[in-house]
Amino acid sequence: MAKKKKELYLSDRQPLNLGGVIMLVLSYAILIFWAFAILWPLSQMVISAFNGKQYDYLISNSVFEFSTIHFDYLFKETLYLTWVKNTILIAVTTAVLTILIVSFTGYAYSRFRFKGRKPSLMAIMLIQTIPSFAGITAYFTMYSILNSITPVFTRQLMLIMIYVGGGIASNTFILKGYIDSISTELDDAAKIDGCSNMQVYRLIIMPIVRPMLAIIALWSFIGPFMDYLLPSVLLTSPESYTLAAGLFTLINNRETLNQPAFAAGGLLTAIPIVILFAALQKQLVSGLAKGSVKG
């Protein structure tokens, strides 16, 4: 009897049966639908932002004619550049302070055992369960107290404190878990070579946790761009608005209603976030290999 030729496959996985084929088709159908649900609104926003035929300041299915009139309106008739400056200032300050503090707190909670460690970790976990809008009354009280002590303390500084406080509470626990996965043998080897705790932190731990710090920096930077509730409540003058609060004035008031300009502002708002994401991608890749080698 002639031996049957064995079928060769490019992997060890067996060919899909009928059920597997159905599940694969269903998975692709869900992914395609999800991609359409995301890309269609984005495409409508891009078309509306560059469509000069929408003179009625409402997004509609009018004939497309490329124009930048909505961007001109955004720069000339609104305080868009002021909102951009305010948002970038708040976002950068929030990201820098969050990274600076979280890098120390995450390292301390992971590598040191001190009195009150577990209760404070529990408190950090509980703080994450409290929504930010639930503390609006407390924020106003804190602002009144601090502003009475020093008039230099502005509402924007109060907003930065809220963002940094929330970032520390959530990211400390995340970074601690990340550092816990790093072997303490690296710390011991460095200490044998004469490194202090600070040198271990700077030369060993920091390069390894750089990918996680990059993610935390990205989250902290994006927060002020995406948040509308707190800026709209705490900031009272249009000159102090962030982008989310400022752009919302273009769609919530009949006198200033301009939906295409709002779409144009949304497109421009994404530019700093995309630039930061592209810059941090290098850190996400290069940080994985550095720091694990002692020396």
174 and 231 co-located in one domain: yes
Q: Mean pLDDT over residues 240-261, rounded? A: 85
Boundaries of domain holding 34: 18-67
CATH number for the domain that contains residue 88: 1.10.3720.10
48 and 118 co-located in one domain: no
33 and 162 co-located in one domain: no
- Token look-up 């920096």 returns 217
Please, what is the average pLDDT of the chain?
Answer: 82
pLDDT digits (tens, 9 = 90+) for 126-143: 777 777 677 777 777 888
Number of domains in the chain: 2
**Rounded distance, CA 29 to CA 23, Å?**
10
**Rounded distance, CA 100 to CA 179, Å?**
16
Domain assignment present for residue 295? The answer is no
Helix (H, G, I), strand (E, B) or coil at 51: strand
Domain assignment present for residue 250? The answer is yes
Predicted confidence at residue 85, as pLDDT, reads 93
Pick from 96, 142, 84, 100: which is nearest to 267 by CA? 84
54 and 108 co-located in one domain: no
Residue 111 vs residues 34, 161, 179, 200, 268: alpha-carbon distances, Å = 42, 27, 8, 11, 43
pLDDT digits (tens, 9 = 90+) for 67-76: 888 898 889 8
Retrieve residue 279's tokens. Answer: 């810059």
Domain assignment present for residue 154? The answer is yes
- Tell me, yes or no, if the pTM score tops 0.75: yes
29 and 106 co-located in one domain: no
Q: Assign residue 131 a region: left if phi > 0, alpha if psi is -120 to 50, beta otherwise?
A: beta
pLDDT digits (tens, 9 = 90+) for 203-228: 888 888 888 888 888 889 998 998 88
